[in-house]
Structure 1
Amino acid sequence: MSSGRRDPSEYVSIIAEVFYDASRRKNGVRPCVGEVFPQTMKIECARAIRDYAIGTKVKLDVVETEKEGSRSFLYSSYKWRHEIVR
């Protein structure tokens, strides 16, 4: 995968949920059931989102990426807007 800026067409708007990530012993964010990405993928995003109550659903833009030597994950910059979905 190339580094640097991505084309805006690569970003996908999804509904994600805050959950307790037992493997990391803190809240995490993952795609909701029925989204284009599996619920097993984790989302790297703003701490403000992870600080919401478990079960909170948010709409945000993500892009699939990977760090060298690790599995792929979804990324949403802390600078990007998100909205709580009821």
Structure 2
Amino acid sequence: MGHGGQRDPSEYRKITAEVFYDISRRKNGVRPCPGQGFPTDIKIECSKEIRDYPVGTKVRLDVVETDKEGSRPFLYSSYKWEHEVVE
């Protein structure tokens, strides 16, 4: 799938996520659906295309857990990676 960077491919996981309205940021965000192995309150950094879907839309996408120095952990999915709308 063309994942760049220095990560081991085994670190990437395909999960189902949903678009939600993030009150704290006043715009749509993306989070894992329940039962995906991640807390449902962890945010996913992903393409604007996904965030522009209507609230409640579910997508399958590859993610990797990461964090930036001094920030909370989050999931990352490159805007270059494919995703699939499942609902």
TM over 0.5: yes
Q: State the match for 2:65 in structure 1.
A: 64
- Aligned-partner residue type, residue 20 of structure 1: Y
* Cα shift readout 1:26-48 (whole Å, capped 9, x = no counterpart): 00000001111010100000000
Q: State the match for 2:75 in structure 1.
A: 74
Q: State the match for 2:54 in structure 1.
A: 53
Q: State the match for 2:21 in structure 1.
A: 20
Aligned residue pairs: how many? 83
Q: Point out where structure 2 has 5 or more consecutive residues left out of the alignment.
A: none
1:79 CA drift (Å)? 0.3
Q: Point out where structure 1 has 5 or more consecutive residues left out of the alignment.
A: none
Distance 1:5 1:49 in 2: 25
CA RMSD of aligned residues (A): 0.7
**Moved beyond 3 Å, runs of 4+:** none
1:19 CA drift (Å)? 0.1
